[in-house]
Structure 1
Amino acid sequence: MTSSSSLSRTSSSLGRFTVRSRPKVNIDLEGQRDGLVNVYTTGDTIKGVVTITVDHDTRFDELEITFEGTSRTSVERQSMPGRTGAYQTFLRLRQPIDDTAYPTPRILESGRSYEFPFVFVVPERLLPHICSHRKNNLHVERSHTMLPPTFGDPMLASDGKTLLDDLTPDMCRISYIVRATLQRNSVGQDGSIGTLASIGKKVRVIPAVEEEPPLNISDEETLYCMRKEKDVKRGFMRGKQGRIVVTASQPKPIQLNPTSNDATSVVSTVATVHLRFDPLGNEEPPRLGTVWSRLRATTFYSAEPWGDFPSTAAIQTWAQVGRGMFTEAVPLSTMCVASAQWTKHTSADAPRRDSMQSTSSTESLPGPSASFSGNTFYTASVVVPVTLPRSKTFVPTFHSCLVARIYSLELSLSYHTPNANILTPTTSLKIPIQLTCQPQADARTKNIVIEITQEEVNSEFFSPRSIAPRWISEPDVTPPEYTAVRTANLLPDRTRILPPSTTANPRGMRTAC
Structure 2
Amino acid sequence: MSSTSSSEHSRILGGYARKLSHAAKPNNISIHINNHYHSRVYTTGSEVSGQVTITPQTDTRFDTLQIVLLGTSKTRTDAVNIPQTTSHTFLKLIMPIPESSYPIPRRLEAGLKYTLPFTFVIPSTLTLNACSHQVANDSVQEHHTRLPPTIGSWEKDDFAPHMSRVQYVIKARVYVDDATDGSSTKIMEAGEEIKVLPTVPEDAPLSVTKHDDLYVMSKSKTLRKTIISPKTGKVTITAAQPSASMLSPDGQTITSTTVPLHLEFEPISIDARPPKITGISSKVTAVTYFSAGGINHYPNLKDWHRSFGSDGRGSYSSTISVTTGHFGQVKWSRHLTAQARRDSGYGSDSLSSSDTDLPPRPASKKTKGNLPSPIFHSAQLQVPIQLPVQKRTFVPTFHSCITSRVYVLWLTVTVVSGGNSAHLTLGVPLQIGVNGTDSHPDNAALPPSFEETEQADVDEYLRPRVMSIPTIDFHHNGALPGYADIHYNRRRTVAAH
Alignment CA distance shift 1:193-1:370 (3 Å): farther
SS at match of 1:167: coil
Alignment CA distance shift 1:81-1:64 (3 Å): same
Residue 291 of structure 1: aligned partner: 280
Residue 467 of structure 2: aligned partner: 495
SS at match of 1:290: strand
Give 1:238 shift: 2.2
Residue 356 of structure 1: aligned partner: none
Alignment CA distance shift 1:209-1:335 (3 Å): closer
Matched, 1:485 2:484: no
Deviates more, 1:399-408 or 1:134-143: 134-143
Contact 2:121 2:446 in 1 (8 A): no
Where does the alignment leave 5 or more consecutive residues of structure 1 unmatched? 1-17, 156-162, 353-361, 444-471, 498-513
Residue 70 of structure 2: aligned partner: 68
Matched, 1:333 2:323: yes
2-structure distance, mates of 1:21, 1:369? 87
Residue 300 of structure 1: aligned partner: 289
SS at match of 1:225: coil
From 9, 31, 36, the equivalent of 1:32 is 36
Matched, 1:107 2:107: yes
From 250, 256, 262, the equivalent of 1:268 is 256
From 163, 166, 178, the equivalent of 2:158 is 166
Q: Give CA deviations for 1:50-97 in whole Å, capped at 9, x if unaligned.
A: 1111233333222110000111111123xx323323221111111001
Residue 7 of structure 1: aligned partner: none
1-structure distance, mates of 2:206, 2:135? 19
Give 1:204 shift: 0.8
Contact 2:158 2:393 in 1 (8 A): yes
SS at match of 1:219: coil
SS at match of 1:425: strand
Contact 1:175 1:202 in 2 (8 A): yes
2-structure distance, mates of 1:114, 1:343? 78
Contact 1:221 1:313 in 2 (8 A): yes
Deviates more, 1:45-54 or 1:367-376: 367-376
SS at match of 2:296: coil
Give 1:335 shift: 5.5
Q: Give CA deviations for 1:173-227 in whole Å, capped at 9, x if unaligned.
A: 11110000122233x4223322221010001111111122111123211111111
SS at match of 1:316: helix
Matches within 5 A, 1:410-489: 410-420=410-420, 424-442=421-439, 477-479=448-450, 481-485=452-456, 487=458, 489=461
Residue 349 of structure 2: aligned partner: none
Residue 318 of structure 1: aligned partner: 308
Contact 1:245 1:369 in 2 (8 A): no
Contact 1:121 1:479 in 2 (8 A): no
1-structure distance, mates of 2:395, 2:379? 34
Alignment CA distance shift 1:286-1:96 (3 Å): same
SS at match of 1:407: strand
1-structure distance, mates of 2:126, 2:364? 49
Choose between structure 1 and 2: higher strand proportion: 2
SS at match of 1:168: coil
Alignment CA distance shift 1:20-1:368 (3 Å): farther
Matches within 5 A, 1:150-189: 150-152=150-152, 154-155=153-154, 163-186=155-178, 188-189=179-180
Q: Give CA deviations for 1:4-38 in whole Å, capped at 9, x if unaligned.
A: xxxxxxxxxxxxxx9766421111111112xx143
SS at match of 2:143: helix
Contact 1:93 1:480 in 2 (8 A): no
Contact 2:174 2:186 in 1 (8 A): yes
Deviates more, 1:129-138 or 1:371-380: 371-380
Contact 2:30 2:190 in 1 (8 A): yes
Matched, 1:211 2:202: yes
Residue 129 of structure 2: aligned partner: 129
Residue 450 of structure 1: aligned partner: none
Contact 1:412 1:426 in 2 (8 A): yes
SS at match of 2:305: helix
Letter in 2 for 1:277: F
Residue 27 of structure 2: aligned partner: 23
2-structure distance, mates of 1:473, 1:268? 33
SS at match of 1:396: coil
Give 1:269 shift: 1.1
Residue 472 of structure 2: aligned partner: none
Give 1:367 shift: 5.8
From 269, 279, 284, the equivalent of 2:267 is 279
1-structure distance, mates of 2:234, 2:180? 83
Residue 237 of structure 1: aligned partner: 228
1-structure distance, mates of 2:83, 2:446? 50
Alignment RMSD, CA only? 3.0
TM-score (norm 1): 0.76
2-structure distance, mates of 1:26, 1:325? 37
Contact 1:292 1:411 in 2 (8 A): yes
Aligned-pair identity in percent equals 32
SS at match of 1:313: coil
Contact 2:220 2:237 in 1 (8 A): yes
1-structure distance, mates of 2:385, 2:434? 16
Matched, 1:81 2:81: yes
TM-score (norm 2): 0.78
2-structure distance, mates of 1:291, 1:118? 53
2-structure distance, mates of 1:113, 1:146? 39
Residue 487 of structure 2: aligned partner: none
Letter in 1 for 2:266: D
Give 1:374 shift: 2.3
Contact 2:364 2:373 in 1 (8 A): no
Alignment CA distance shift 1:293-1:481 (3 Å): farther
Regions of 4+ moved over 6 Å: 348-352
Matched, 1:199 2:190: yes
Contact 1:210 1:438 in 2 (8 A): yes
Alignment CA distance shift 1:185-1:250 (3 Å): same
Alignment CA distance shift 1:62-1:319 (3 Å): closer
Where does the alignment leave 5 or more consecutive residues of structure 2 unmatched? 1-21, 343-355, 367-371, 470-497
Matched length: 424
Q: Give CA deviations for 1:341-382 in whole Å, capped at 9, x if unaligned.
A: 323333379999xxxxxxxxx965796696483232222222
1-structure distance, mates of 2:138, 2:452? 26
Residue 447 of structure 1: aligned partner: none
Alignment CA distance shift 1:370-1:59 (3 Å): farther
